[in-house]
Amino acid sequence: MESIDWGKLPFGYYKTDFNVRSVYKDGAWGELEVSSSEYINVHIAATGLHYGQEAFEGMKAFRGKDGKVRVFRWEENAMRMRRSAEGIMMAEVQDELFFDAITSVVKLNEKYIPPYGTGASLYIRPLLFGSGAEVGVKPSKEYTFVVFCGPVGPYFKEGFKPVAIQLVSDYDRTAPQGTGNIKVGGNYAASLRPASRAKDEGYVSVLFTDAKEHKFIDEAGPANFFGIKGNTYITPKSKTILPSITNMSLEQIVRDLGMEVERRPVAVEELSTFDEVGACGTAAIISPIGKIFDRTQNKLYEYGTPGVAGPISTKIYHTLRGIQEGEIEDKHGWNYIIEI
């Protein structure tokens, strides 16, 4: 294995030694198999390829100062993957199989877990898709569940530095009564065009507005949005936002710090009233936002001192990372220690 420059890793695919797989057939999941191939042999008529019967998850494992490896809130990811499966009529992966898969893949790839203090972590990517052949539009009878992992650095190259994002109203990632609240591939396909345009225009990501009226803040690209106003943490409530496990954790962290939490519709105009804003998610962790440009209204919202994250965002970022790396008491029992 070539030596890895842990501190310079981007958020991207990194080949490791093993992944794990299981196939659902005749109404039951098969044994978990270890593979060293990066490829899957897929039927040409698999529903995952044709009709988007596909969902994925993302979580991270961290090496602490004490050398222990902690995976953050995996039960929540397992539950969300079941909701995704239910939403697009796929076979559900039960906790036991999910747990075996993620712990096996981490243990098998131990040498790829970034050392403590490098800012990097091991990203774990479960994937579930319809692998049986159908040509009519109907759910597959067969499913494949794969989990791979790899070391990653910050999602946005800025790391924990304020980024500029673009508010869009001329594209939606999902329909008002669609699949935005589950983690299915189609939502991400729909986000590629506006995200790519935003990048071309100088922004790291898009901030979607609600798909019905385009008046409210929705998803922040591959992350949830939050704003801080005085002593209150505010995050949009919408049926098209993916329930972020990071956001849920931050809500608890701010409550523990004595702040208030509001989860409610957030009108676009309210952007001018926040002290701090940010995006949060497993990949993004907390990404402070310094600028939001409303592309349709040609209006710029700016936050804080350029290049510097706000004080509350900084505090909650360090608290979350501290818990994940075992330096701050895990009083809500969010970490699972993988014995390696």
Residue 223 makes contact with ligand PLP by CB under 6 A: yes
- Ramachandran angles phi, psi of 7, nearest 5°: -70, -15
Residue 122 makes contact with ligand PLP by CB under 6 A: no
Residue 238 makes contact with ligand PLP by CB under 6 A: no
3-state DSSP assignment of residue 225: strand
What is the CB neighbour count within 10 angstroms for residue 259? 17
Paired tokens of 65: 């100062």
Q: 277 - beta bridge partners?
A: 227, 289
- Tokens 């345009």 correspond to 197
Window 281 to 300, contacts with ligand PLP (CB under 6 A): 281-282
User: Of the candidates 114, 186, 281, 326, which one interacts with ligand COI according to CB under 6 A?
Assistant: 281
Q: Is 183 an active-site residue? A: yes
User: Of the candidates 151, 180, 194, 222, which one interacts with ligand COI according to CB under 6 A?
Assistant: 222
Residue 242 makes contact with ligand PLP by CB under 6 A: yes
Residue 278 makes contact with ligand PLP by CB under 6 A: no
State in angstroms the smallest separation of the CB of 281 from ligand PLP.
Answer: 3
Find, among 267, 10, 25, 43, the residue nearest to 159 by Cα.
10
Residue 244 makes contact with ligand PLP by CB under 6 A: yes
Residues 6+ apart with CB under 8 A from 124: 57, 58, 59, 60, 61, 71, 102, 105, 106, 147, 148, 149
Distance of alpha carbon 16 from alpha carbon 124, whole angstroms: 11
Nearer to ligand PLP, 69 or 242 (CB): 242
Nearer to ligand COI, 132 or 153 (CB): 153
Residue 243 makes contact with ligand COI by CB under 6 A: no
Stretch that binds ligand PLP, among 34-42, 219-227, 253-261, 315-323 (CB under 6 A): 219-227
Paired tokens of 175: 């329909």
Number of residues lying near ligand COI (CB under 6 A) = 5
Find, among 262, 187, 186, the residue nearest to 226 by Cα.
262
Q: Which of 60, 183, 199, 237 is catalytic?
A: 183
Binding site for ligand COI (CB under 6 A): 58, 222, 281-283
Could you list the active site residues?
183
